[in-house]
Structure formats: C-alpha cells, structure tokens
Structure 1
Amino acid sequence: MSSRLPGRRLIQRRRINCAAIVTRAAVLLLLFAGWACSSQPTPTEVFMADQIQISGLQVDKAFYHPGEMVHLQVHILTGLAGEKQAWLSARITHLDANIDTLKQQVTLSGGDQTVELSFSPPETAPRGYGIDVAIETADGARLAGASTAFDVLDRWTQSPRYGFVSDFQPGRLDSTETMEILTRYHVNALQFYDWMYRHEQFLTHEEPYIDLMGRELSRQTVDALIDAAHQRGIAAMPYTAIYGSSLAFYEEHPDWALYNKRGEVSRLGENFMAIMDPRPGSAWANHLLAQFDEVLDNTAFDGIHLDQYGDPKEG
C-alpha cells in the first residue's frame, strides 16, 4: 500500500494545481469584467467631470409684501464641452416644514448661464423662508447645491436689517449694482449717512454742493441711490442729527444753542459744530421739524433717521 501512496499524492497535487489555476483565472476574469464595466462612467461621473456648480443665488427684492411674486435667479457655471440635460429643483421651507418644491428641466452648456424660477409664497407675515436649490441628474444624483432665504413682511420694520451708504459724489454710476449686492445680504433699509448740505439745512438748490466737511456731493446721486433702493424694496432713510448745526448758523442764532454751566456753548470738535437746544417746543426743535417736512416733501426718502452724539450729557 505504501508503494501506491506517492502516485495518489501526485494525482491529488495535480488536481489541486488545476483547481488553483481555474480559481485564479476566474478571479482575473471577474477583475477584467469589473474594469470593463468601470470604464463606462455613470451619468453622475459624466456631469461631475465637467465641474458643475451653482455660482450664485439672487432673489430680486430685500423682502416681499404678502401676495408679491418671488423671482429667484440661479447662476450656474459649468465646464461642459456640449449640452447636457439636468433637473433644477428649489425646495421652499419655513423652519423644518417643507412649503413647496419647484422642479424644472434645464439644458446645461459650457460657461455661465442663468435660470429664473418664480413662485408665490404664503401670504403670512412676518415670516422668513429658506430656499435650497439643487442640480440633479435624471436618476436623482445631486451634482451641485446652494441655499438662500427671503422674508414676507408687511413692512421692513418687522424684521429690520439696516445698512448704510455714504458716497454721494457727482457722477457715481453704480447705484443699481450697489443695491443688487445689498439685496444678497437681505438688507431692507439704508441710512444715507452725511448726505445733506448742512445739518441745519438739508437741501440746497446748488448742484453739486459742498457739505460742511468740504466734500463735493450731488443730489442727483442721492436720488439715484434712493430710486435703486426702492427697485429692490429697500427703504431709504436720511441721516439727521437732533442738535447739530454749523458754527455759522449758531452765530446767527446764539439763543437757540445749548450751554454748559459756565455759560459756554456746547460743541462737537473745536471749530466744527455747535450743539443746539433740542427740547420739545424750542426754537431749534421747531426749525428742525420744518426741515424734516421739507425733506419728506421734496425727496423720495421713506422717513427720517435721527442721531445724537452721546455728549454732552446735560446742558
């Protein structure tokens, strides 16, 4: 029996070697098949290779009154060599509640393109909403996304986001672009800081005019900025000081001023401005109220911004 054992072992080894060869061949075949399949990119891989992104979202107003239509611009940037079909969706939410979902097919091509979506939000006010935008393939794979928000308000003071502008030089031509940028940040009211001719006389017939600090300013620029703000639903508020006047005006009306215990007129700076008496019914207060009326009657400002300097504390 021992003489036949080596032969049996040889046969068993050959069988084992053959099985190993078959197994290795099967593994190689599977690997090759997998490589062959992976060489065909999925629809998602085709899109992603072309670097699709949402480069910007822009609502057309700083806020919306109940019943107003929202217009959303979606700016898309791609590196496509040709055209490809995709789906653009916008999900409207309030807190964790889904309010609506908009979806439309888009044709993507190389470079920049803009798609506009319009919808009517609920009329409940005040209320804020989120917008989650996505670009997807036909099979639902997400390619790009971005988010923004908007408010539905009866008036801007229900949810104020206050900014300011301070450049009113003649020939300024970027009013529209300025308000477009502010709208991206949902700024819904603007202080027009130091826009006036004088602190005691806001308007003048001069155009352009020189303000108290020696700057050349333009009423045309002021009006253009107001108009551009209103196009975006942004309120325009003119800066005023409740008790500041030029020294020249104080010298004409010394009895209107505010004095300290030593009988000295209160000042802002050494030779810049005098502090006037702002008590209700005072000559200065009546003069200032008349100035407010003139501003509101002759400009498109939406109200009056009142300021005070914090000093003096008494007079």
Structure 2
Amino acid sequence: MQAENTTSLRFHLNGSDKARYSPGDTVTLPCSLEITGYNGEILQLETLLFHNEVPVSKEETVLQKNEFINPKISFVTPQKDYTGYLVKVIVKDEEGKELATDTTAIDVSSSWVKFPRYGYLCDYESSIHSEELIQQMNRYHINAIEYYDWHHLHHEPLPEGMTAENLSDWTDWAGRKISHETLSRYIAAAKEKNMVSMAYNMIYAGTDSFFKDANGNPTPPCQWQLFFKEGNPKGKGPFLFTMGDSPSGDGHLYFVNPLHPEWQNYIFAEENRALDALGFDGWHGDTIGEFGEMTGADGEPLGYTEDGTAIYLVKDTYRSFLNNAKKALGKKYLSFNPVGAQGNEQANTSHTDVLYAEFWPWDAARDGELFNTYHAILREVERSREDSKAYSFDGVGKSLTVKAYINVDSKEEFMNDAAVLLMDSVSFASGGGRLELGNGNHMLHTAYYPDDKILMSDTLQKSIVRMYDFSVAYENLLRDGQYPIENKVEINDTPTSADGKSFTIWTYPKEDSEYQILHLINLRNNDNRWVDEKGKKKEPEIQKDLKVKFYTEREISSVYLASPDFSDCESLSLSHEKGTDKNGKYITFTVPALQYWDMIYMK
C-alpha cells in the first residue's frame, strides 16, 4: 500500500521592500518558502490588508511550480495617507486548503515625521557592507537614521575645503577612519528604502583645535565659549568635557553659547556644507545635558527672554537656537536631543521636525519626578505630544522618540529580553517611539555608540520584529492624537495600578474620537525601574484569562485585542457584557493571555 503523501511547508514574510510608502505606491513583499512532499502544480497566495480590525483589501496570487522558491508578492497601497496596515498572507494548496500564514506591516505615509522610527549607524570602515546593514534595518521599518560620529570634528563636520566634487576619506576625533564611499553607499541605500539620513552633531561644541591655533594661541571662537557662572556647584572656568585620547589632540569638547550669533552663523554654514556635499537629509542635533548656570566668555548672561529676563541655563536657549537652525536648513530636516529631557519643553515648542530625548535616571521632569521609572518616561511622552500640538503639521502633537540605555553596565553576551521589551511596550503604548536599533541587527546599550558590543539573542530579534510590526500596523491607535483618560479598571484577583507600580498589571486607558483603548503592561514579577544595568530583569509570567471590568460612559459596540506577543499581531474579537454598579457603567470581557503588553481597543 502506498504511503500517504505528507506536505511540509515553511513560509516566512521577510518584511517589505521599503520602510515607508506614499499613497498609491507599489509594495513588494519578499518571501521565503520551503516545501517538500507537495505534488501540486500551483500554490495560491491570499494577501489580506487590515487597518486595525477592518479588512481593507484581498488579493490572490497563483504561483507556478517554478515560482515556489523565494516568491514575491506585490500590491498597490491604498490612497489614505498616514495610515498603518497589517498584512497577512495565507498560503493554500490547489484545493484551497490552508498550509501556512505569516504577517508583516506597512506604513503608508508621505512623510516620516508623523511616525518616526529612528535607527542609528556608527561604523564607516571601507569594508562595511552598507546595503546589507540598511536591508536589515528595513525589516524593523526604520525610516530615519542617526549617523553617529560620522564627522571629522564637531566644529568642522566635513574637513576644510572638501565638497561633493572632491570627497576623500577622513578621520574623526578618536582617529577612526571614515570612508566617504561607505557613507555615500549608506545614504543611497537608505534613500532606496524611503529612510531619511540625519547627520549627527552637537549644536554647541568644538574640539581643541578650534580654540587654539598651531602655536597654541587662543582663537576668536574663544569669545563664544561657555563658562560656569560664579557659584555654580558643578564647576569653574570654561565648560568642557573630556572625550578620550585623540591622535590629533582633539580629545576635549569645549562648549559655546548657543545664542551667540557668530557661532550660529558659523555652525549653520558648516552643517549645510556637509549635508549638501554628502546628500544627508537633515541635521540631528545633540547636547550633553544640563550643568547649571553658565555665562558667556564676557561673564554676561547667555541672552535674554522676550520680557528681558536674563538667561543663564543652556536649556533655556534651545527654542531660539532650533528655530534659527531650522530656518537656516531650509527644506532639510531638523531633529534634536535635549539630553536628560532637560529643556524638552523648549524643543517641544520649537520648529524641529520631530521630537527626541535621551533619558537618564538621575534627571527629573518638570514636575520633579525622577526619570527612573517607566511611569516617568510615559508621562514625558504624553507631555511632549501635548506641548507640541500647535507645532505639529496636523495639530495632534508630535511623537517623542525615547532613547534610554537599558543594560548600560551589562557584561552579558546578549541584551536582557525582558528589560528591552518592557521599555518598548511602555514607549509605544504611551505614543512614543524608540531609538535602540542600528548597525544592522545591533541594539544600543551605551552612550558612545562604537562601544556597543552587546547583541540581541535570536529570540529577542524575533520579538523585536513583531514589536515593530505591531507599532506600524497600529500606529493610528498608538500615536495619532490619542490622549490618556482616568477610567477605572479592575481585574479579578489581580493586583493592578494606574501608574505602573512594581509587581502589578499596569492598566493604562486612552481614547480618541472613535475608540477607547486599554493598554495592559505586565509588571507582575518586575519592578517599575527601566534601568537594568546588569541585565537581570525577569521574563514576565504569562497571565491567563484575565477578567477585566472597564468603566465607561461611552456606548461600546465591539471589543478587540491585539498584541505583539501572540497571534502574529492580528486583532481578535472579544465578547463583552455591559453592566452598572455603584461606580457607574462598565463593560466586562476576558483577556485570554498577557505576556508583556496587550492593547484592547473598544469601538
């Protein structure tokens, strides 16, 4: 008797061909397909597009036998701008029997600034396979790249006299060789993927050779320098920072007054020269954080506010500097990092194209809360969106990109999965983004990017792919004008908190005009501190069959659950019941499982 034929099939979507699409663009989905024991002549591929819970389109593709290896699926994006979609592909045999499925996501946005997804690059050796690293970053839908320490010197990003017509290699302050051809390949490959290339540089710093000539004499820029104001407990004399050993003697950063008009004219011209020569799309400005009151070299205030108040804090100079920088850059983009989120209010109310902040646990928010907890990060993302409403092109506010060094002192081989995924969950649920991925499949854990040697495990890589798929597919529920609400939430027999207390399930409700949204973040066996210096955070214990009571005065017609942790990011419909008690009207529903983060959205 002949043995029954058994088909074995593995199907995987390798993301999409670009990080971002304009309405009406053609999407190509590269796939990998391995099949054995199949005697059919064709396979059927059904491609479904979902916006939140709503099916948008369905397309069918027939593969002939000679097309089974590495097939590609193509379709045209819908015309609605600034919209995220989940893409599901179902593989069927000749008779229509389902053999395999997989999902990915696409972002249909004519500009990157509404939903920024930042990544980084920091390796510019001539041997680098630039296109391969860009392709790897594309799988995470990265649409903006910070080119860290690509430049020659902070005050002279491109060596003197160099233009697009006479580019050659150069060294940075640490003596690292920067290949201009590698940079050019990165920028060209990024452009092919609809990623923007942002040239990193400090907004207010120069190295030793800027302030002393070849004979050791002071140069005119010394008159632009910052000095610690008398009585500042953080220092005396000129404000400087030692970076490290430098073959050229440029191992120190000396800081200048951002409001000095001569400095602004100088650095804006230098940045534009570099951006034009190499084809960068914009400037990613950086700072070193807040170090108390400063004066100019003449002992005078750094400037004055519109009402005549003297400015001594550097963070109070940011808005004016950024607005002048944006004007000088013209059509080029501007992003900015107020380190420690100090001066974030100024950045939020400036004309920068996107918002970005690097967090440290010892810095404090405007209300005094230290940035050492998940809740503090979430609140700053919320405040940034609120601050920036009037400065955003669509009036709903800008989405803050969160940079935070999770495993900053770890000596482990790999990043800690739980620490990374919990911080991502909080950042995305609050309406923000993350700067953590770069140099291909690397993940940032230290402030000097070239020192970043801790990798993601295979398991974490897979989880991060799903996390970023989720953030794109549901971007219109995550960071498209949603605002926090104070609806009461109860979960039977489970400790909960509304502010992310340690060892609880964090219940975080939000809403917009169409949905009420409940984020559940699992801190049941972890504390509420995001810094995991040694990489010791625990994988959350999966919570099952959570019976949720959500109080609401809105009329709820349907309830959906979506998560990056299961079901390939697909939305599941949940049955619900309505009731009233002494606390008001409510609905109840059961969440089948919670690992890191679940999003329940109610229509």
- With normalisation by structure 2, the TM-score equals 0.42
SS of the residue 2:63 aligns to = strand
- Distance in 2, matches of 1:212 and 1:147, equals 44
Q: Secondary structure at the match of 2:275?
A: helix
Tell me the equivalent position of 1:129: 85
CA shift for structure 1 position 208: 2.1
CA contact (8 A) 1:133 1:145 kept: yes
Match for residue 261 of structure 1 among 205, 229, 247: 229
Q: Do the aligned residues in 2 keep the contact of 1:278 with 1:285 (CA within 8 Å)?
A: no
Aligned with 1:304 (options 283, 287, 290): 283
CA distance in 2, matches of 1:67, 1:223: 29
| 1:152 CA displacement | 0.6
Matching of residue 64 in structure 1 with residue 21 in structure 2: yes
Classify the secondary structure of the residue corresponding to 2:100.
strand
The alignment partner of 2:47 has SS state of strand
1:289 maps to 2:268: yes
- For 1:60 and 1:274, the matched residues in 2 are separated by 41
* Residues matched between the structures, number: 270
Aligned counterpart for 2:52 among listed residues 72, 92, 95: 95
1:55-107 CA deviation, whole Å, 9 max, x = no partner?
A: 33331110101221111222211234766422111111111111111112223
Distance change >3 Å, CA 261–CA 278, structure 1 → 2: closer
- Partner residue in 2 for 1:219: 180
Q: Secondary structure at the match of 2:229?
A: coil
| Percent of residue pairs bearing the same amino acid type | 26
**Residue 168 (structure 1) aligns with:** 124
Equivalent residue, structure 2, for 1:179: 134
Contact 1:257 1:265 in 2 (8 A): yes
Name the CA distance, whole Å, in 2 between partners of 1:156 and 1:118.
Answer: 22
Q: Secondary structure at the match of 1:230?
A: helix
**Equivalent residues in 2 for 1:140-289 (5 A)?**
140-172=96-128, 174-204=129-159, 205=162, 207-251=168-212, 252=219, 253-261=221-229, 264-269=237-242, 272-289=251-268
Match of 1:304, SS? strand
Change (3 A) 1:126 1:269: same
Contact 1:59–1:71, Cα closer than 8 Å, also in 2: yes
Q: Is the 8 A contact 1:80 1:109 kept in 2?
A: no
Once the two structures are TM-superposed, the CA of residue 138 in structure 1 deviates from its matched residue by 2.8
CA distance in 2, matches of 1:274, 1:260: 15
CA change 1:244–1:180 in 2 (3 A) is: same
Computing the radius of gyration from Cα coordinates, the structure with the larger value is 1
Do the aligned partners of 2:17 and 2:193 also contact (CA within 8 Å) in 1? yes
Map of 1:5-84 to 2, 5 A cutoff? Answer: 41=4, 46=5, 49-80=6-37, 84=41
Structure 1 gaps of 5+ residues are: 1-35
Distance 2:37 2:225 in 1: 70
Separation of aligned partners in 2, 1:278 and 1:64: 40
Q: Which amino acid aligns with 1:95?
A: N
Which is richer in helix?
A: 1
Structure 2 SS opposite 1:221: helix
What letter is aligned with 1:257?
Answer: Q
The SS at the match of 2:86 is: strand
Aligned to 2:478: none
Secondary structure of the residue aligned to 1:291 is helix
Q: CA deviation at 1:164?
A: 0.3
Shift of 1:40: 6.9
Contact kept in structure 2, 1:83 and 1:109, CA below 8 Å: no
Query: 2 CA distance for matches of 1:57 and 1:248?
Result: 48
Q: Which amino acid aligns with 2:143?
A: N
Q: Structure 1: how far apart are the matches of 2:49 and 2:257?
A: 49
CA-based RMSD of the aligned residues comes to: 2.3
Cα separation, partners in 2 of 1:224 and 1:190, compared to 1, 3 Å: same
Aligned partner of 2:508 in structure 1 is none
CA contact (8 A) 1:242 1:278 kept: no
**Using a 3 Å threshold, how does the CA distance of structure 1 residues 307 and 265 change in structure 2: closer, same or farther?**
same
Which whole-Å CA distance do the structure 1 matches of 2:14 and 2:185 have between them?
Answer: 25
Runs of 5+ consecutive residues of structure 2 not aligned to the other structure: 213-218, 231-235, 245-250, 295-603
1 or 2 for the larger relative contact order (CA 8 Å, sep ≥6)? Answer: 1
Are the equivalent residues in 2 in contact too, given 1:131–1:149 (CA < 8 A)? yes
Change (3 A) 1:78 1:226: same
- Deviation at 1:270? 7.2
Is 1:86–2:28 an aligned residue pair?
no
Cα 1:90–1:80, aligned 2, differ >3 Å: closer, same or farther? Answer: same
Q: Work out whether residues 236 and 302 of structure 1, in 8 Å CA contact, stay in contact via their aligned partners in 2.
A: yes
Q: Distance in 2 between matches of 1:225 and 1:161?
A: 17
Q: Quick one: distance in 2 between partners of 1:305 and 1:80?
A: 53
Q: What TM-score, normalized to structure 1?
A: 0.79
CA distance in 1, matches of 2:266, 2:18: 37
Matched-pair contact (CA < 8 Å) for 1:250–1:274: no
SS at match of 2:265: helix
Q: Give the direction of change, closer, same or farther, for the CA distance of 1:212–1:183 in structure 2 (3 Å limit).
A: same
Match of 1:16 in 2: none
